[in-house]
Amino acid sequence: MFYNPYIVFFSCNHPSSTFFPLSRLFYRYRDLAPQLVPLDYTGQPDVRLPYELIGSMPELKDNPFRQRIAEVFSEDGEGNMTLDDFLDMFSVLSEMAPRDLKAYYAFKIYDFNNDDFLCKSDLEKTLNKLTRNELTEEEVRMVCDKVIDEADLDNDGRLSLEDFQHMIVRAPDFLSTFHIRI
Amino acid sequence: DTDSNADSEEESMSEGEMERLKEEVEEKKKIIATMRNKPWRMKRRECQAFVDKFEGALGKGKGKKFYAYKVMMTKKWIKFQRDFENFKTTCIPWERKIKEVESHFGSSVASYFIFLRWMYGMNMVLFGLTFGLVVIPEVLMGLPYGSIPRKTVPRAEQATAQDYSVLMDFNGYCKYSVLFYGYYNNQRTIGLLKFRLPLSYLMVGVGTFGYSLMVVIRTMAKNADVGGGDGDEGEFTFSWKMFTSWDYLIGNAETADNKYASITTSFKESIVDEQENQKDENIHLRRFLRVLANLMIICCLGGSGYLIFFVVKRSQEFANRDDLSWYEKNELELIMSLLGLVCPPLFETIAELEEYHPRIALKWQLGRIFALFLGNLYTFLFALFDEVNNKLEEEKSIRNASIWALKEYYANFTLHNNDSEATAPPIDPADVIRGPCWETAVGIEFVKLTVSDIQVTYLTILIGDFARAVIVRFLNYCWCWDLEATYPSYGEFDISGNVLGLVFNQGMIWMGAFYAPGLVGINVLRLLSSMYYQCWAVMATNVPHERVFKASKSNNFYMGLLLLILFLSLLPVVYTIMTLPPSFDCGPFSGKAKMFDVIMETIDLDLPAFLGTLFSYAANPGLIIPAVLLMVGDNEQYQHMSAVPVCFCVDEVSAKWHHAYSPVTPVT
């Protein structure tokens, strides 16, 4: 969140004014559960919205990876998000975020088993989520083999963060697709 | 992006302040450079320190409002640019429809619809040219219906002129309307504006070809520019597909459904490509089989060519006899239709020997059916020219007859009228003897062909696809075998047949537009309704191909076919303009020896004298040949230059893939 002074500004609890877009984000967060989220955040309340509320937001509800997104950005790793987590999430996914930052978080999102590597099972899960299980097993296997073939630079049969970053920064569509507008 | 904000601030401040800001920016850059590589959340203490350090930029102290205003304007500008891009994409017609087809049926089927849309655009321009410069002036400023012989239905035909069957044949009132060449008057200038209609008619006729040629070549150049290779030769094809194909902006269930379908299709296409690459078989056997298949197909084509030739000869003999059976009367049409129905599936079956990649097999299929249809074209032109020559013969005798009849009329009048001073009233236009007007006859043939082509296409879709789908769906409940899974099942979209239909149809339009200006309008309507009708038919009654394959990156193959047909249709029209004499009593060139005499007349009468001598020097072959060579050379170069973007461009469509979907609208 450091790259955007406004985000920093807000999270340090300076009074918000109508210029700063962050007040809008706060109200979106609050609208998910008005009875849980207080208007006054000066006391640093420990409020965590459960994953079900986050996952039903219109921006996320059709995304096949919404669960993973919530898990990656939440403090507890279960998808239950505090306001800070919420702001983090939308910062990284906004237009302004730098490419490297997005690549880092994309890697974490697609790493289903959280072992810091994209192994075959991670790739298979990603593919099945993308195609809603329409491809045959043979086809899935073939695609995953090809992906590892293409991107694995250190030949360990799985993609590390470096492999992933090396591949994704060259992708022409990455910045425009890994983007949520709120 | 804090740097860019700081830079824009620099322009509006004094030297000293600029220096100070530059220092601050440098410091900020250093900090950000170190922090950049370690994404971590900052705690409040560090926040406070950060804020205190960069007070000015963050909005405390002087310049706060101005700076914040600048940032807000920058954001608004970015948003505006994004919205404008979205707006431009939504302006492209049928974009959503085609995306939907693409997501369910793959890019090769969608390429047909993109081609159709491109054709529609080109035809709209031709329509605008023709109607604006030829039809509207004649309607507004020319003489009305019934005033001169060429604009009136002859007395003999007036009884039946309104009959439905006569109108369907484009006789009667249709024949003597702006739709056809014969209606136009040969007055050199008409109306207050002194609009030179005959010149305009000729220029529009030639301009149609010129514009079409320019547009086709420009599109080919643009496609060749933008990575015109076949297949996707990316380093990270599958990786990028896996990690960048989902558009996180999607917030609509239907859009998401389409996106899932298109991602699946896209993966399947790439898998097919990959499997083709991995295949390694006996090269010699494959080569032998391919040579064999080509030999068989050449035999088929030769056989059908000879059959057509034979049948045309027979029909010429039949024209002289009167006692013909139904079969003999329609033999030519029957044989042509049979060939058109039987040969394409035959070619497809033979092509299975060749085992090409589906994309390449499609190209071969297209080429072969193209060769077959050329036979049809040859027959049609042959028959047409026969008719034209007959009419020219007829005209000579009628011309003498009509001059003689006019003299008779005046002689009779002075005979029966004792008052020798009175002049005879002009003959009623309906009674004047008419020449055969071969140009209108040719125009009628083209219009009839186009209309019957439309009818056949629509009926084929209705019966071959829709009725079949309905039968399979509902009969399946009470049939012995599974209709859906085995035979006949649902139809697949026939890409090659449809593309060739479109290309040949356009060839007919180009040939016929000179003789029937209304034909372009009919074609525009046809393309418009085709788009909706075929989109509906494809989504409702077709199933995706078993092996979905990606269309080649450029549409240049279709464009190449179109270019070939353009040249083929240019030749007959140029021949008639240059060689055949126009009819003496109908059309804008009546009374002249050759149609292009209009240009000579204009140069002599309208342009200053020195231009006339200039043109006569320029018409020297010694100058024309180098000029033509230069133009050809220019075109070659043009192919390698980047061209001005054409509205309906294949690659723009594919590049703007994500932005076609509506952005999520915020809840607040």
Cβ–Cβ below 8 Å for A132 and B239: no
pLDDT reported for residue B194: 83
Residue that wins the pLDDT comparison between B134 and A40: B134
Residues A127, A65: contact at Cβ < 8 Å? no
Closest CA to B115 of B502, B629, B485: B502
Q: Which residues contact B414 (CB under 8 A, 6 or more apart)?
A: B420, B424
CB A126 within 8 A of CB B255: no
Q: What is the pLDDT of residue B534?
A: 94
From A11, A147, A177, residue closest to B47, measured CB to CB: A11
Q: Are A89 and A1 in contact (CB under 8 A)?
A: no
* Chain A contact set for B32 (CB, 8 A): 2-3
DSSP one-letter string for B120-178? HHHHHHHHHHHIIIIIHHHHHHS--TTSSGGGS--GGGTTTTT-HHHHHTT-GGGTTST
**Residues A39-62, mean pLDDT to the nearest whole number:** 87
Chain B residues with beta carbon closer than 8 angstroms to that of A59: 251, 664
Q: What is the DSSP letter of A159?
A: B
Backbone angles phi, psi at B189, to 5 degrees: -130, 145
A-facing residues of B in 199-218 (CB < 8 A) are: none
How many Cβ pairs closer than 8 A exist between chain A and B?
Answer: 157
Q: What is the pLDDT of residues B532-543, one digit of tens each?
A: 999 999 988 888
CB B557 within 8 A of CB B413: no
Helix (H) or strand (E) holding B261: helix B253-278
Comparing CA positions, the residue from B123, B126, B101, B186 lying closest to residue B150 is B186
User: Long-range pairs for B290-298 at CB < 8 Å and ≥24 separation?
Assistant: B290/B353, B290/B354, B292/B353, B293/B350, B293/B351, B293/B353, B293/B354, B296/B350, B297/B347, B297/B350, B297/B368
Output the six-digit token pair for B378: 């040859």
Taking only residues 44 to 63 of chain A, the set having a beta carbon closer than 8 angstroms to any beta carbon of chain B reads: 58-59, 61-63
Test B248 with A146 for CB contact under 8 angstroms: no
Q: Which of A88, A135, A164 sits opposite B267 (nearest CB)?
A: A135
Q: Does B278 touch chain A (CB under 8 A)?
A: no
- The domain defined by A18-93 folds into Recoverin; domain 1 (1.10.238)
How far apart, in whole angstroms, are the C-alpha atoms of residue B97 and residue B113? 9
Q: In this predicted structure, what is the pLDDT of residue A143?
A: 92
**pLDDT digit string (tens) for B198-213?**
889 999 999 999 999 9
Name chain B contacts of A151, Cβ cutoff 8 Å. Answer: 236, 239
**Residue B138 vs residues B180, B201, B627: alpha-carbon distances, Å:** 12, 10, 35
The pLDDT tens digits for B547-606 are 666 666 556 888 888 999 999 889 888 888 888 888 888 888 888 888 888 888 888 887
Q: What is the DSSP letter of A15?
A: P
Q: Is B246 left (phi over 0), alpha (psi -120 to 50) or beta?
A: beta
Using a 10 angstrom Cβ sphere, with 0-12 exposed, 13-18 middle and 19 or more buried, the burial of residue B656 is middle
pLDDT of residue A6: 41
Contact call for residues B244 and A178 (beta carbons, < 8 A): yes
Position B39 scores a pLDDT of 56
pTM across the whole model: 0.69
**Long-range pairs for A120-123: beta carbons < 8 A, 24 or more residues apart:** A120/A144, A120/A148, A120/A157, A120/A158, A123/A147, A123/A148, A123/A159, A123/B242
CATH class of residue range A99-177: mainly alpha
Residue of B nearest to A144 (CA): B238
Domain residue limits, chain A: 18-93, 99-177
| Coil/strand/helix, residue B492 | strand
The predicted-structure confidence for A64-78, as pLDDT tens digits, reads as follows 999 999 999 998 888
Give residue A5's identity as a one-letter amino acid code.
P
* Chain B: closest CA distance from residue A35 (Å): 18
Residue of A nearest to B244 (CA): A174
Q: How far is A171 from chain B (nearest CA, A)?
A: 6
B-chain residue closest to A179, CA distance: B248
Contact B549, B476 (CB under 8 A): no
Chain A CB contacts of B56 below 8 Å: none
Which pair of structure tokens corresponds to residue B41?
Answer: 């959340």
List, for residues B45-96, the tens digit of each pLDDT value: 666 666 655 554 555 555 678 878 888 898 899 889 888 888 877 778 888 8
Chain A 130-159, residues with CB within 8 Å of chain B CB atoms:
130-132, 134-135, 139, 142-143, 146-147, 150-151
- Residues B108 and B549: beta-carbon distance below 8 Å: yes
Q: What residue has token string 């090269």?
A: B283
Q: To the nearest whole angstrom, how far is the Cα of B364 from the nearest Cα of chain A?
A: 28
Q: Is A12 in contact with B664 (Cβ distance < 8 A)?
A: no
Please tell me the total number of residues recorded for chain A in this structure. 182
Contact B246 A65 (CB under 8 A): yes
**Residue partners of B660: CB distance under 8 A and separation at least 6:** B89, B95, B96, B99
Given a cut of 50, the residues of chain B with pLDDT beneath it are 1-11, 56, 228-231, 640-668
